[in-house]
Amino acid sequence: MQLQRLAIASDQLLPPRLKLTQEQHHYLCRVLRLAAGDRFIAMDGQGHWWLAELETETTQAQLLEELTAQNELPIPVLLLVAMPKGNGMDEIVRQATELGVAGIVPVVSDRTLLQPSPQKLDRWRRIVQEAAEQSERQIIPELFSPLAWTEALSRWHQTNADCYLCEARGSYPPLLQVLSRTDSHSLYPHSPYQSNSVDSSAPIRPIVIATGPEGGWTEPEVKAAIAAGYSPVSLGKRVLRAITAPLAALALVAAALEADITDS
Amino acid sequence: MQLQRLAIASDQLLPPRLKLTQEQHHYLCRVLRLAAGDRFIAMDGQGHWWLAELETETTQAQLLEELTAQNELPIPVLLLVAMPKGNGMDEIVRQATELGVAGIVPVVSDRTLLQPSPQKLDRWRRIVQEAAEQSERQIIPELFSPLAWTEALSRWHQTNADCYLCEARGSYPPLLQVLSRTDSHSLYPHSPYQSNSVDSSAPIRPIVIATGPEGGWTEPEVKAAIAAGYSPVSLGKRVLRAITAPLAALALVAAALEADITDS
């Protein structure tokens, strides 16, 4: 189970308690649907993480322990991946987990209409768990149930995430260039790279990366993504297979987040 | 419609004709199901492409025109990869080729002493060729014969290349950060990003990326690499498998070269 993350300001830490703002409490209980006794991760944006638990009687939380090992990316990265033919998805979910993804959404696209069996989904979840352990992650990425492309777009779009559509055809700017030119205030709303002047009550916006099937996204799929606020980007001049593209994209996003190459 | 690609040798070019081997003709007509009058792309593996058309009366082809498409990286990138156990090398050579590598050197390291059979090398070369065609490369990367680590270091070192050693353990700077801080004059000696003031007679220094086996490089191996002028770098906080590490590294190098994120 993946714990939800909450960005907090340092002055909310009153060990053994964590003082929540009304907005944060609303976010945890109404938006994330946590209940008293549920746990989440509080991040102070300075590289410190705590395991926290919602109190029963109050609207506050208890700090259970500081988490020391920290191999997770500073903000969650979600992979929307059109399922390739054959067993390619095995390798995608394994490598995506190694590269730090927070969640994987198998997408049913115009060119891959196959619905995976429940056994396939179980298999992918086992691979994700294994890979998370082997690569020394603190969280186990969530493997979502498959969604049609339009469903995926209505769930993740520009109002709740920074969304990128990887597309081989067309002259789109390189993903790394787009990431490195993104205003770091929007890319790292609560990262250690930020000053305290940033509004700490804003929810963390995940990064969403969408990669297509063999043959690429269809034109209507690209248009629908752009309408949902996805930035179309290129992964380089060479044509990558549907298996390689998500891994190249995730390697770039992870490295960009950890190397702090954004203009500041 | 995307044209099929065929790798040819330079001595098959007899303009305006392309002499096909029996095997190539069989591949085009039986496997790819092209007929007389159909077009395909012939690649000589040296960066030249031609649009070709199967002749009607013969088993040969006509060279219609040379193509100027250019999907290659501005400077050559060489992968020195400690061979993983099992069939992992198949996936490495395939994905490395897609990601734009110019050459792959299988390395015999302290933790992987296995010498691959000549059949294995042939198999890897076939995969490289296939992948170069599918990913629309102009050159076919060279698959070198396996070398011991010390031999590889004596062949590629700081006097003739910009060398990076990927190492999971230890607190080394992220590869992308190191690449983005590299003086762009040394990184792009002949790239389009350079002014003409750079000495154009200087040989192009390739980028060399070395990735280790399962369990990582041994301490003596790391020391030997550093002595040869390799910069030790990290590929992120998570532990990548021996199969994933080279692909993550190559995705970063290719993107850094094409996105031009270096300080200038």
Look up residue B178 and give its amino acid.
V
Q: Which of A61, A165, A252, A122 is nearest to B251 (CA)?
A: A252
Query: Which residues in chain A have Cβ-Cβ distances shorter than 8 Å to B100?
Result: 236-238
To test the contact with chain B by mutation, choose from A244, A250, A253 the residue with the greatest count of B C-beta atoms within 10 A, namely: A244
Full-model pTM: 0.76
Is B223 a residue whose pLDDT tops 90? Answer: yes
Which element (helix H / strand E) includes A254? helix A244-259
User: Class of the A5-67 domain?
Assistant: mainly beta
Q: What is the percent of chain B where pLDDT is above 70? A: 88
Look up residue B168 and give its amino acid.
A
Measured in whole angstroms, how far is the alpha carbon of residue B197 from the centre of its chain?
29
For the domain made up of B77-259, give the CATH fold: Alpha/beta knot (3.40.1280)
Backbone torsion region of residue A118, taken as left when φ is above 0, otherwise alpha when ψ lies between -120 and 50, otherwise beta: alpha
Q: Which of A82, A80, A88, A100 is nearest to A140 (CA)?
A: A100
Question: Which sign, positive or negative, has the C-alpha torsion B224, B229, B235, B241?
Answer: negative
Q: Quote the DSSP letter at residue B191.
A: S
Tokens of A124: 């992918």
Surface of B (69-98) touching A: CB under 8 A: 70-72, 91, 95, 98
Query: Which residues in chain B have Cβ-Cβ distances shorter than 8 Å to A92?
Result: none
Task: State phi, psi for A63 to the nearest 5 degrees.
Answer: -90, 110
Could you state, in order of their start, the residue ranges of all structural domains in chain B? 5-67, 77-259
pLDDT tens track for A14-73: 999 999 999 999 989 988 889 999 999 887 766 678 899 999 888 899 999 988 767 889
Is A1 a residue whose pLDDT tops 80? Answer: no
The 8 Å CB, 24+ separation contacts for B112-119 are B112/B82, B112/B83, B112/B84, B112/B85, B112/B213, B112/B214, B114/B83, B114/B85, B115/B146, B116/B83, B116/B89, B116/B146
For the ranges A122-136, B97-111, B175-189, the maximum mean pLDDT occurs at: B97-111
Q: Is the predicted ipTM greater than 0.85, yes or no?
A: no
**Beta A207-211 vs A147-148: how paired, if at all?**
unpaired
Which element (helix H / strand E) includes B39? strand B39-43
Mean pLDDT of B234-258: 94
> What is the model's pLDDT at position A46?
61
pLDDT tens track for B121-173: 999 999 999 999 999 888 899 999 999 999 999 999 999 999 999 998 778 99
> One fold for both A5-67 and A77-259?
no
CA distance A34 to chain B (A): 28
Closest residue, chain B, to A243 (C-alpha): B95
Instruction: Please check whether residue B260 touches A, CB under 8 A.
Output: yes
